[in-house]
Structure formats: structure tokens, C-alpha cells
Amino acid sequence: MIWETVIGLEVHVQLGTRSKLFCGCSAGFGDPPNTNVCPVCLGLPGALPVPNAMAVRLAIRAALALGCRVHERSIFARKSYFYPDLPKGYQISQFDRPLATGGRLLVDSADRGSVAVSIQRLHLEEDAGKLLHDRIPGKTAIDLNRAGVPLAEIVSGPDLHSPEDARTYLTALKQILVYAEVSDCSMEKGSLRVDGNISVRRAGETALGTKTEIKNLNSFANLERALAAERDRQIEILERGGQVDQVTLLFNAGTGSVRPMRSKEASHDYRYFDDPDLPPLVVGAGLLEETGAELPELPSAKRLRLMSVYGLGAYDAGVLASERPIADYFEAVCRAGADPKGAANWIINERGEYPEPASLAELIALVAAGTVSHQAARKIYPELAGGSSPRAVAERLGLLQVGEADALGPWVDEVIAAHPDEVRRFRAGDSRLLAFLTGQVMKRSRGTANPQGVQAMLARKLEGS
Amino acid sequence: MSGRLAAAAVQNRLAEADRAGLNATLAWSAAALAAEADRVDALPEPGLLQNLPVAVKDNIVTTGLPTTCGSRILEGYRSPFNATVIDRLRAAGAMIACKTNLDEFAMGSSTEHSAFGRVLHPMDPTRVPGGSSGGSAALVAAGVVPVALGSETGGSVRQPASFCGVIGVKPTYGRVSRYGLVAFGSSLDCVSVFARTVADAGRVLGVIAGPDSRDATTLAASPIVVAHAGVSLAGTTIGVPREYFPGDLDPGVRAACDAALLRMRELGAAIVEVSLPHSSLAVPAYYILAPAEAAANLARFDGARYGVRAPVAGDLRELYRATRGSGFGPEVRRRILVGTYVLSAGYYDAYYARAQTARRRIAGDFAAAFASGVDLLFTPTTPTTAFRAGEKTGDPVAMYLADVFVCPASLAGLPAMSLPIGRSEGLPVGGQLIAPSLAEAKMLSLAAVLEGALDPTAEVRR
């Protein structure tokens, strides 16, 4: 039996605002517990939410980057459930009237080429706090620093057909959101979180199978592992003639397996209704246009442009376009006069802090002119970080290739004078001795001479006189 | 008179009211009053409400006095911030005199549902002052304070104002900030004003009204400027909705309304009958929508962060169950249950969505009436005068119907007020004015004319 896997991802990204979604508290990460709190995010009696315009702007930017339609009016809704990390007993989210719908993201599938993954919706919501089980022995503490931090939830269509594709999609999504400066998308800091919906069906069927949801996939690798484990579990059940139950699962990274959440954890009736504290969120044409203008060139467009404008190959262009600062740096180096292919090679192969674009451009030019050897250039490169000029570094380290007659002449003359026997044998026709004599000159130059230049001068002097 | 003198006078009257067993206050202290007095005396310039003592319903948060909402679950709770209306009153030179008793979380129509005991009607201790802002109404009626803040969700200021014979003004929804008003039905809640004169009500409303960056639902509207009261109503058209004068209307209430309408006609007003055909849907719709919002609004009282936490040995569910089960009184629990039910999966469309439709139709009725050329509507505020304590506590629906004439304007978000228009068997009768959105000034101007033309203490002739 051939099975087809169907996967959709629900991704939460923390919007990169300074303050929270409905109050002025810092949205910073890593501060001591309960220091970034106020009556609003603590849910104190009488406090009311007021939307953060910057969060709305970043969510719009994300929606536009993903090709979504941003709705002129969207509605904040209350999602009710009791949990100690949820100060109001409800989360302010968006439900039946989300900020944006109907986008798509192109991803390179391992086995299907470039495919468009639909983005069903993107909505704004506030984060909950965090329970700390290890601070006070025998007790659970609550840290509400994160409560009210702005999130965008991005829901893909069931368009992914393998755990690998799911990972590729998440990578592309992260890339585009980091690019657009919507979020830092750090899984370690919790600013990128992902839940996976997965079902399998017989190849060729169009109806979807029963899906399960896997929560808290906390790394790219675990996303792929968990989905693969769940795919295999579902196929095994179906091949035995069984039925998949619609359950919510948790992935155990230690064992590599999934287990169902207790039904109490999973079965919620959220009793959504429009939040009366917040008027409809209105995104006018002006704001939409302004936000659109803030949107940078996105990775796929940049890759194509790097190929067409700079004549790079698809691989080089892809690597450079994968991160906006790298692509920007590449272009700056080219603007400083470097050969694009040479610049791409340097940027892709060198790690660590990049030197000033002009410095790298100069270094590339020195190599091209034969002033320093490639080998020498690799020694010069790490010294450029402080802003030093490549030529100065080369001089300081004695790495300039000596090709000029002025410098070579004395060494060549000395070698001819010091080796009369070998000179006579060369003149008698033993041409192998040219290599010996060249070596002697190189030795005197301590390797800085250009060997071709040395050879040429030796031959001229010995044959001409 | 200095703040100190005003504070001393109100302190004496508060002590006297407490001695008389009115049970209208939940918190006040000589020290807090003295601090308020010193503060207003130190203001660089006298404000619009200089030295005015204001009683505040105990669901409006204050840093100077506890805020309990009349509930065990918030017993002793002290807010770290002041409501916007409190900040504005204080900045205008007013003194916060006391916190007043109320139906728990403003849920009730008689102030019998307070965890801290019922409030007595100042004129007849066997009767209720109305509710839920009964403490504020009683204090103004008893002359303890000239003005008080209450809150309205479905008539909780107009109805007790009517029962107690004082003025009660509910502004347009969004006219006054809700920041610091402990939420009950957020789409309906309005901080509202009790006063003994229309002028005082207008002054206080003028100070507390206006947009607030902390409440996203406040409206950017021009300030309320009440025209100097003339004596003529010529050119004014008063609409009288027939649905508000049913056959079983209390005869004393009917007679007082008829007399008031006659007086308005004598003063030159045109009186026209109008119809608000969806009026009967108001109470049922209200008792779906308000509890639905309340169930979510009261979810935060879980014993985890503040307020009272019941001692339990069990798990989280036990903590919630014990805290909320013992912290909330029966009426609050009833409304949380109803509100949870009407929003549950499978029931939303049958209840909540239909109630929203009813709400839109009720608002449409008002819009049509005002579009037909009516300036203001006049109705009885309540179907009866103040009822006896205990008379309706066993029958929630009978209690809810005490708000039948005040609920519709709440659902429509319109400004409305009650003013005393006479007495029936010694008890005050209130007449209600309902105005178009943001037409508070027009409403208060007309009320000022009526105030000068009617004797609210006169027994009506049937």
C-alpha cells in the first residue's frame, strides 16, 4: 500500500515589538520573573487592553510578505479557558475575522520541486505567561513577563506531504519573517513555536484522513522527527485495519515518540466571542500602503536578482540570499568594485566577522592583479576586521608578491654571481638548471617574489648576455 | 469653604448614615477623607468640582480605599491604580468620600445581592433602594453626598435613581472611560452619575467624560455643554413609546408620567406617540449578552493572583472550584453559568447570536424613532415604585423585569436618565428621558426645564 502524508503547520511567531500587545510593558526576554508586568497584563480588576500599533504593523508586514489579503476590518475575540498562566481567564486572539487570509509561500520540496504552500490565515494574539516548576520546592510559580507579548499565528494549508517538506516550509517561513524584520524567530527564546497537523491517506485519494495534532515541536529537527514518527504510527494503525483517533499529541524528544495528551488537557470549548473591549481593527489603505513600502526585497526575489544582475549561479545566489545581512554585504562589496564571483566565493567560504566591504573589495583586487597570492590573501583576511587596508597588512606581514624588475634584479644578479658553475651548465644547454636558479632567487626573496617573474628575468639575463 | 471643612461635614453625615443602619457604604475613613481634603486644598487652582465630596460605587477602583465589588472574592482588595474617572474627579478638586454598597459585581436590581448585606431605602427601611448602584443612590437621596458615581450595565443607575427620588444619568456608551470600572458586561458598562440637581449631574458628567487612551472604546466627541435652562419647551418633540405604558403599569407611575407629559405640553413641547416594537426583546437579550460577557470578565477571579483564595488540598481544578464556589454569591454564580452556557459549542447561534440580532433591532427601533423627528423619548423609568426587600429575591425573572424600561437604552448604547417626577403613596416615581447618541447636552437641558417645572415631592393625583 502506498500512503500519502498530509501536513499543515500552525506557527506562532513573536512579533519584534519593544512592548506588549495591549499594554506598554516590555516584551523583552530573560528578565527576572514578573518584572515586566502592569495592571493590564496582570488582568487586574478594571484594567483594559489597548492595541499596540507597532504589533499591528508587523503583523501586516508578515501578512504582506506571505502574499496574504489583509482585511480592512478584523475582530479581536476572547478565547476562554482557565489556566494559571492566563491572567484574565481568556486570551485575546482573533477567531472568525482574522487580520489576513489567503497567502502562499513558495518552497523547494525535496521531491516535488518548487511548490506553493497556501497560508490559510494570519492573526494577532497575545501570549500567555509561564509556569515555573523549579523555583520553589513543592510549588508552582507563575511568571507573567510573557503574558501579553504579541504573537502572529500563521496557519498553512494541508499542502505539505512529507516531514522534510514541513521542515523546508518552516525554514522558508522563518527566513521570510526574519528578512521582513517581523520576528527574530528564535526557537530557543520561544519566539518561533510550531504545532503540526498530520494525516495520511491512500495515494490517489482526495478526502483527508483523520488528523492528529502534535504540540510543542521545539526545534527544526524535532519537527521532522515527530512528524515522521506520527506518520509511521498512523500508517501502521491503518495497515492493521484500525482507525486513527483525532487526538492531540506531545512529542518526546528523548524517546523520539509521540504520546496523547490527557483528554482534560486537550478538550476545550473555548467559547469564542468578539472582545467588547476592542473595537474592530481597521487597516486603511494608507496603512496598508505604508507597511507595504517598508517590506524589503524577499529572499526568492533577491536570489533571482543576484543571479541576473551579478551573473551568479543558483547555489551561490541562494546561499547569499538566505540571510538579508549577508546579501546586503555581498552587494556592498560589489559596489566597492569587487568582481561578483570573487566576492561570492569569499563571502560564502569565510566565516566570522566580515571586514569593511571596501577592504574585501581591495583584497579581491590585489589577488586578481597578482599583487598577493591567494594563499597570502587568506592570511591577510582575518587581519582586516579592525579596518586595516589589505595592502598595509600585506606589507606588514611581508606578503606582497614581488614582481617588479627593480626589486628582483639584485637578487637575480647575486644568484648568477654566486653560482658560476650552474650558469655555465645552463648556457651549455642543461635547461633543468633554470628551476634550481629560480629556487635560489625565491629563497633570497623569502618567498615574496613572483616565481614566473623570476624565471623570466633569469632566462632573459642568461640567454641575452 | 475649605476642603477640610467640607470633609468634616461629609464625615459627620457618613457616620450618621452608618449609625442609622443604611448600610450604603463599604469603605470610608476619617484619615482618607482628611488626606483628600489636604490634597484638594493644596491644588494650585480650584477645580470645577472644588471640595465636592463624591461617593463612588465599589466596582470603580481607587487606591485610597479598598475595592470589593460587594463580593467575598475581593474582600480587602486594594487596587494599585485609580480608575480614569477617579483621576479626573480628583484633578477637578473633588474628594473621594467613600465606596458604596452594590449588588455583587453590579448584578442585581435591589442591592440585596451584596455579600455585605442589603442597603436600606432611605425613606422606608422595609424597601429596597433599587440596584445595582443602591448604595450610591441611597447616599445621595439621604443627603449624605451631593453626587455619587454608579455604574450601569442594564439600568443600574436609572432604576435606583427612580426608586430613591434622585437624578441618575447614564451617558452614551463610550462617552466616559471604563478604565478602572470592574467589568461586568463590557459592551454595556457605563460609569454613570447620581445627583440631586440636573446641574450637578451635568457638571460631574462634564468632568469625567471624554476620550481616554486607556480605553479603546471611548469616543472622540465634543464635550457636554448644557445650555442654560429656559422655561419653554417650544419646538421640542417628545416621543412617548407605547410599549412603555403597558396595561399593568403601576397606576401611580402612570399618573405621574401623565402629569409630567401634560406639564411638558403646557411648556410648549409637542408630544407624539411612537412605537419601539422590539422593546419586549430587551430583557431576554440582555440576560443572554450581559451574562455571556460577565462569564468571561469574571474568569480572572480564580484565586491565583489576588483576592481571596480558598484553602484547598487538591489540584488546580479544586482550587478554582473552591475559590469561585465560595467567593461568588448565588446571583453571580447563576449569571456565570448562564453566560457559559449561551456561548458553549452548539448553543452560540441559538442564544448569543440571536440576542445580538435582537440588540441590533432594538437599536434600530430607537434610530427610527429619532429619525422620525422626535428629539427625546419620555417613559417611566420603572414599572413600579421601590418594592419591598425580599419581595423578588426568590424569583430572579421578576427581579430582572424591574429593569424592563431601562434595559433597551443600555443595549442601544444611548444616553438616558431618570429624574424624579412625583410621588406615589409617598414613594418617588422616576421619569426616563432617552436621547440620541451623544445628545447628553440636549437631554440634560430638557431635564433642567422639567426640574424647574415639576415638584418631585408632590403626591400624584390618580
- d(CA B149, CA B37) in angstroms, rounded, equals 19
Residue of A82, A83, A264, A272 best to disrupt the B interface, most CBs of B under 10 A: A82
Residues of B within 8 A of A89 (CB-CB) are: 296, 298-300, 302
CB of A78 within 8 Å of any CB in chain B?
A: yes
Residue A265's pLDDT is 54
Look up the pTM and report it: 0.90
Helical ranges in A267-419 per DSSP H: 285-294, 299-310, 314-321, 324-335, 340-349, 357-368, 374-380, 390-396, 405-418
Phi-psi region of A259 (alpha: psi -120 to 50; beta: other; left: phi over 0): beta
**Contact indicator for B289, B343 with CB cutoff of 8 Å:** no
Residue B460's pLDDT is 93
Which residues 273-302 in chain A show a CB within 8 A of chain B?
273, 275-279
**Contact indicator for B103, B114 with CB cutoff of 8 Å:** yes
User: pLDDT tens digits for B42-67?
Assistant: 999 999 999 999 999 999 999 999 99
Number of other residues whose CB lies within 10 A of the CB of residue A136: 9
The catalytic position among B132, B162, B177, B424 is: B132
**Contact indicator for B424, B412 with CB cutoff of 8 Å:** no
- d(CA B421, CA B427) in angstroms, rounded, equals 11
Of A46, A49, A50, the CB nearest to B181: A46
How far apart, in Å, do the first and last CA atoms of chain A sit? 87
- d(CA B85, CA B89) in angstroms, rounded, equals 6
- d(CA B81, CA A45) in angstroms, rounded, equals 10
Going along chain A from its start, the domains and CATH numbers come out as 3-287 (no CATH), 405-464 (1.10.10.410)
Over residues A337-364, the mean pLDDT reads 90
**Is pLDDT larger for residue A139 or for residue B24?**
B24
Residues of A within 8 A of B185 (CB-CB) are: 276
CB contact under 8 A, B183 and A78: no
Q: Which helix (H) or strand (E) holds A197?
A: strand A192-202
Grid coordinates standing for B219? 469616543
pLDDT at A264 over 80: no
pLDDT at B413 over 70: yes
**Contact indicator for B60, B90 with CB cutoff of 8 Å:** no
Q: For all residues of chain B together, what is the average pLDDT? A: 96
Residue A15's pLDDT is 98
Q: What is the DSSP pairing of strand A212-217 with strand A248-252?
A: parallel
Question: What is the layout of strands, in order, in the sheet containing A273-274?
Answer: A90-94, A76-80, A273-274
Residue of B nearest to A24 (CA): B214
CB of B187 within 8 Å of any CB in chain A?
A: yes
User: pLDDT tens digits for B147-201?
Assistant: 999 999 999 999 999 999 999 999 999 999 999 999 999 999 999 999 999 999 9
B147 - beta bridge partners? B54, B195
**Contact indicator for B150, B194 with CB cutoff of 8 Å:** yes
Distance from CA of B348 to the nearest CA of A (A): 8
| Burial class for B192, CB neighbours closer than 10 Å (0-12, 13-18, 19+) | buried
pLDDT at A215 over 60: yes
User: pLDDT tens digits for A406-418?
Assistant: 677 888 888 999 9
User: pLDDT tens digits for A93-108?
Assistant: 999 999 999 999 999 8
Residues 6+ apart with CB under 8 A from A296: A179, A180, A181, A324
pLDDT bin (cut points 50, 70, 90) of residue A455 is confident
Can B192 be counted among the known catalytic residues? no
ipTM: 0.96
SS3 B97: strand
Grid coordinates standing for B230? 429656559
Can B132 be counted among the known catalytic residues? yes
Going along chain B from its start, the domains and CATH numbers come out as 1-462 (3.90.1300.10)
Residue of A nearest to B294 (CA): A276
Residues 6+ apart with CB under 8 A from A240: none
Grid coordinates standing for A461? 639575463
Of A47, A88, A279, the CB nearest to B217: A279
Of B80, B340, B344, the CB nearest to A39: B80
Residue B269's pLDDT is 97
CB of B61 within 8 Å of any CB in chain A?
A: yes
Q: For all residues of chain A together, what is the average pLDDT? A: 92
**Contact indicator for A192, A9 with CB cutoff of 8 Å:** no
Q: What is the DSSP pairing of strand A130-132 with strand A141-143?
A: antiparallel
pLDDT bin (cut points 50, 70, 90) of residue A373 is confident
Can B99 be counted among the known catalytic residues? no
The catalytic position among B156, B192, B279, B418 is: B156
